[in-house]
Amino acid sequence: MVARVIPVEPFELVIFGGTGDLARRKILPSLYRRMKVGQMPPEARVIGAARGKMTRKAFQALVQEALSEFVAEADQTEADIQRFVEACDFVTLDALGTGGWAELGKKLRPDVTRAFYLSVGPSLFGPLAQRLSERGLVTPESRIVVEKPLGHDLASARALNKELSTPFDERQIYRIDHYLGKETVQNLMALRFANALFEPLWNARHVDHVQITVAESIGVAGRGSYYDKSGAMRDMVQNHLMQLLCLTAMEPPARFDPDAVRDEKLKVIRALDPVAPGNTVRGQYRANGVDGSYLDHVGNPDSRTESFVAIRADISNWRWAGAPFYLRTGKRLRTRMSEIAIVFKDVPHSIFPEVDEKRGNALVIRLQPDEGITLRMTIKDPGPGGMRLTEVPLDMTFADALEGQEVADAYERLIMDVIRGNQTLFMRGDEVEAAWAWTDGILAGWEAGSARPSPYDAGGSGPEDALLLLHRDGRRWREIEG
């Protein structure tokens, strides 16, 4: 099966922070892969902008190095790399200074779609937006791209929205949550809205509860000082888990267009009940033979920042009242794994008296590893000896189902959507603010109390309290396993 490639118009993508980690690991390799499949027109250009003094040649060498490090070897051909590198240019420019702007202005062509990707720290988002405007570089067709952290709380998110929306219209602002670019996440929408099978069951009458898990095996060593100011709630729940919750819970939009989809997501966030501290669990990993503890990694023995969080979230609307969403994410857990599990109610009456265990079907949407979808079904245990039941998965791993067709990286899709001007997979300003309003309530509850995060073993599945959060509701978490 060959992927369909929709060509895009010529564009100029300016990457502020073009020499940084995100640019080298994600943005440049994604653009290269799009060029390889024919989606980058010959006139398209990528202009790196960063404050380090650098020539065009030196930047091109950096791009070449990034491609050889972060693009699969099979996709690296000399001719393609050369073609991509030739499309790259560089301007030395300090976001807070005056030099370099005129040079950047001269490099941009007036008749070509312009995208400014701010791959720099969030404190530079506002100043860069302002300077782009002051220097007259914002055309009606220009786009600006930003990525988390989009604020630290509701007040700072509002301030950031204001800074961005002074020079740019909302239709020009692309707030990336790269989870929305994942193939499986979009498949969640296809599964729900392109198949008649599940939608009639997609509500609290048939769904017992939903579990959303994003588990990471790595700790915070190396980025401890950043992480300690953020924590799992701000770093993961406010954005990624919230987006997964929205796509799982939202009503069918009337059309698959940016505002129709985002209106429905916003309604979900606004229907979330405030969460009492008793419906949350915070954890911090402790050393377990192998590695240091969270407190060692952040170098702060008194830190109360959570490296794990579990939450019972309730959505007060007709579809979901009575079916909670349990969210869980953490660092240094047993394995790296992300999934959404829709756990259906058990049969209303079992005609198999020897079976006493509850066996609701579960639809599991796996984001990683091995993106795919599994439906857990109950069947008869084969063989004679009475009516024993067992569970089997109906499994679809995308890599197998799509016959080896490569699943594109989330950034490839998102960057091309920026160029095409399609905001469906990007967060709107009001959505981000609503998510912060809900998150702030939880953070305030924690701050008001004196409890410390519960310790959990590095390499385990999180604190004991997280198990109890479900046990007390007569439920249990799915295993964290790869």
Segment near ligand NAD (CB under 6 A); pick from 13-21, 32-40, 130-138, 325-333: 13-21
Q: Smallest distance, Å, CB 186 to ligand NAD? A: 19
- Interactions with ligand NAD, residue window 21-40 (CB under 6 A): 21-23, 25
| Binding residue for ligand NAD, selected from 3, 96, 254, 401, defined by CB under 6 A | 96
| Binding residue for ligand NAD, selected from 33, 45, 51, 366, defined by CB under 6 A | 51
- Interactions with ligand NAD, residue window 359-418 (CB under 6 A): none
Other C-beta atoms within 10 Å of 113: how many? Answer: 20
Q: Is 204 an interacting residue with respect to ligand NAD (CB under 6 A)?
A: no
| Binding residue for ligand NAD, selected from 28, 40, 44, 50, defined by CB under 6 A | 50
| Binding residue for ligand NAD, selected from 11, 13, 14, 17, defined by CB under 6 A | 17
Give me 367's structure tokens.
């984001």
Q: Smallest distance, Å, CB 92 to ligand NAD? A: 9
Q: Is 163 an interacting residue with respect to ligand NAD (CB under 6 A)?
A: no
CB nearer to ligand NAD: pick between 4 and 53 = 53
CB nearer to ligand NAD: pick between 29 and 460 = 29
Q: How far apart are CA 326 and CA 470, in angstroms?
A: 8
Q: Smallest distance, Å, CB 148 to ligand NAD? A: 6
CB nearer to ligand NAD: pick between 17 and 292 = 17
Q: Is 151 an interacting residue with respect to ligand NAD (CB under 6 A)?
A: no
Q: Is 100 an interacting residue with respect to ligand NAD (CB under 6 A)?
A: no
Q: Is 120 an interacting residue with respect to ligand NAD (CB under 6 A)?
A: yes
Q: Smallest distance, Å, CB 325 to ligand NAD? A: 25
Q: Is 95 an interacting residue with respect to ligand NAD (CB under 6 A)?
A: yes
| Residues belonging to the active site | 240
Site of interaction with ligand NAD (CB under 6 A): 16-23, 25, 50-52, 93-96, 119-122, 124, 147-148
